[in-house]
Chains A and B, each alone.
Chain A
Amino acid sequence: MNWYLFLGFSIIWLILFAYLWFLFSRHKKLAEEIDSILRKRL
């Protein structure tokens, strides 16, 4: 039973990790794009 709970929560955590990684990467890309626009304006 506890092994199932451990594996279940680990899978939930891996999905959350993948989502957080996706959010970080997407926003970093967005930040870099905005940065290049701002530097062109300067």
Chain B
Amino acid sequence: MSDSNGAVRLGDSIERMLSAGRLLLWILLPLMIAALYGMFIHAPTERVMGEVQRLFYFHMGSAVAAFAAFFLVFAAGSIYLWKGSMIWDRVALSSVECGILFTSIVLATGPVWARPVWNTWLPLGDPRVMTTLVLWLIFVAYLILRASLPEGEKKYRICAVYGIIGFLDVPIVFMSIRWWRTIHPVIISGEGLALEGGMKTALFLAVGSSLALLTVLVLLRASILLLGDVLFQLDNGFPGDCEK
């Protein structure tokens, strides 16, 4: 009886997550079109780099979304350790997956831009490139760790702690171009954004739409994981703590 009660409460949370995601999807629809218009039409062509500079809007939008996803891993992991609610563990896992997706976009668009501008695809000696690659590997390792541990609360606790420690690389990635010698451009400085007006608008739209897309994807992925948990609970009776 109590198992069913817990599952009903979990089912309510899933429905709320799916409703919020669907609502946000409608906000994201015009926002993404506006961001694409900003990137390709509104923003002026950069004088030296030319059209390839437009990749920057995808690159930085994805980087901000990746940082936000890993912050969510940190926050959800901390809340899981504090409250012990399974929902936060699933949110953390979803954020890791989305963070890896956005970091992969960053790592793919960077070299395409760098080849004509820096005359090299991937300068591994560059601190920004290296720390970003390490960030990607840390969270790929999170998934490997998660898949290799036996099911249960101990696994969720270990993953939460690993996610919290893994997040520590995010400020290092952000500061790497300020701490060490690098050829990577510094866009955000003490004097604000080093961009022309139209480029700033395009960047804000790109960042906004990337963050909205991240939220939609995390909500969808987490609710799918939780639906799987409810189905498992219906079949076997779940030893976890969805009543908390």
Binding site for B on A (CB under 8 A): 1-3, 5-6, 9-10, 13, 17, 20-21, 23-25, 27-28, 30-32, 34-35, 37-39, 41-42
A21 touches B25 (CB 8 A): yes
Query: Is B203 engaged at the interface, CB distance under 8 Å to the other chain?
Result: no
- Pick the contact of B224 from A1, A27, A32, A42 — CB < 8 Å? A27
B18 contacts the other chain (Cβ, under 8 Å)? Answer: yes
Q: Tell whether, in the assembled complex, residue B216 and residue A20 are in contact, meaning their CB atoms are under 8 Å apart.
A: yes
- B contacts with A: majority SS: helix
Is B121's beta carbon under 8 Å from chain A?
no
Contact residues of B between 23 and 46, Cβ < 8 Å to A: 25, 28-29, 32-33, 36-37, 39-41
Tell whether B4 is near chain A: CB-to-CB under 8 Å: yes
Q: Are A41 and B40 in contact (CB under 8 A)?
A: no
Whether A17 contacts B25 by the Cβ 8 Å rule is yes
B145 adjacent to chain A (CB < 8 Å) = no
B7 at the interface (CB under 8 A from A): yes
Q: Which residues of B come within 8 Å of A, CB atoms?
A: 1, 4-5, 7-8, 11-12, 14-15, 18-19, 21-22, 25, 28-29, 32-33, 36-37, 39-41, 51, 216, 220, 223-224, 227, 230-231, 234
Instruction: List 11 A–B pairs whose Cβ atoms lie within 8 Å, in order of A's numbering.
Output: A3-B40, A13-B33, A20-B25, A24-B18, A24-B22, A27-B227, A28-B22, A35-B8, A35-B15, A38-B234, A41-B4
Residue of B12, B18, B25, B216 touching A27 (CB-CB under 8 A)? B18
Q: Are B40 and A42 in contact (CB under 8 A)?
A: no
Give the Cβ gap from B53 to chain A, nearest Cβ, in Å. 12
What chain B residues lie within 8 Å of A2 (beta carbons)?
A: 40-41, 51
